[in-house]
Amino acid sequence: MRVGYQRRLQHDPFEYLEELRRRSSNGILRLPWGGRCVSDAALAHTLLRDPELNGDRSGFFGDLLPTRSAQVDVGHAVRDLLRAHVADYREVLSAEMARLPAVSQWPTTATDLVYRALADLLLHPDTPPQIRHFMDKAVHGGVVFQAPGTWQRARAEILRAKLIAAITEHVGYRRENHAGESRDVLDAVLGACPHNLADRTVAEVFLVMYRSIVAPVSSSLAWSVLLAFSHHTSDCPLPWPADWIVREALRHRPMVWMVGRTFPHPTEFGGIPFQAGEMLSVSPYLLHHDEQGWTDHDVFRPDRWAEPHQRGPYIPFGAGPFTCAGAAVAHVLMTEALIALTSDCRMTVTGGDMRAVMVEGAIPRPFTVHRTVRQVHETERR
């Protein structure tokens, strides 16, 4: 990518996408770094749901799993495990909120909160301490979110290699000492993967799931906090349900940067010829800011979710056959975290702005949260 394009993308990636859309005349943008992106809602709907373009394996797992059915089995197994333990997640969140300092730095704090609330579901407490130690370091060690500099990325690769090696060894142990019921995400992955899959490949699949749980939940929680308390600055409680805030944050600032589909053979799409193997992407952000589908499309307005028939295309977790299997439970995890964070307290945010940083997805720039627990009178408890 040319330096000029890269700087503009780093300065404000979403605004840059908007600029590219304004220049386009046919609903398909040519991206300066290569490839194309659909901005027209009807074309995007076709692309994401066309059986011919969505019949093979999802690119989410790369080549780790041999079939689409194996991908589906792993996704459903992890989803079901998390769904069954939402009450445990909620309980740990409450304990974590009690330890949260009055002033905290975000989005780092969001990642810490979500990871600690999920740590025992990702890997059961009986897992060898060394593996859990590597997992703890991976949260901020460039494994969950890509490190910014070359040296940091090199260190992250070393950490990732150590984590994969340790998990690989532990996968072999678990296969020989099957515990029966799935106790954590690793058990769920191991139980759903084909039996002949190598231990290391199972470890790689687990790491994909680990990152795909912690990163979007924590990033969307951070966006929800930043957006909600940038638009509500009074001492009164938030005027919107947490569910509406999360949904609107996922619309207004979706973490997913692009969703792509690869053409299996030469074809024409939207009046443009594509060769076999070429990819065409959809930007959730552009669809979520489609002025024909959304009223006040540029405004953060959680109350729009009380109006069920006034919504445009909404794809924070993808769409069509490749929609994220854990979309519903991810939304629950985000909402529960926001409820725990905001209950019986006053919050304000300082610093930060609405420009995203692209780190394998759109995350907020650093900001500070000031949180004061509200004293609840005995009459209110009753």
pLDDT tens sequence across 357-366: 987 789 999 9
How much is the pTM? 0.94
Q: Which domains does the chain have, with CATH numbers?
A: 3-56+64-381 (1.10.630.10)
Tell me the pLDDT band of 3, cut-offs 50, 70 and 90.
low
Q: Residue 5: is its pLDDT beyond 90? A: no
pLDDT at 9 (0 to 100): 78
Query: Quick check: 378 pLDDT over 50?
Result: no
Mean pLDDT of 98-124: 96
Give the separation between CA 80 and CA 269, rounded to whole angstroms.
Answer: 37
CB-neighbour burial class of residue 283 (10 A; exposed 0-12, middle 13-18, buried 19+) = buried
pLDDT digit string (tens) for 30-66?
Answer: 888 888 999 999 999 999 999 888 888 888 899 999 9
pLDDT of amino acid 32: 83
Task: Report the phi/psi class of residue 361: left, alpha or beta, with left for phi > 0 and alpha for psi in -120 to 50.
Answer: left
Mean pLDDT of 237-241: 93
Mean pLDDT (whole number) for 181-200: 96
What is the rounded average pLDDT of the residues 202-222? 97
Q: pLDDT category, 166, cuts 50, 70, 90?
A: very high
Which has more confidence, 295 or 6? 295
What confidence tens digit (pLDDT) does each residue in 292-315 have?
899 999 999 999 999 877 788 999
On the question of pLDDT at 160 being above 60, the answer is yes
- Predicted confidence (pLDDT) at residue 147 exceeds the cutoff of 80: no
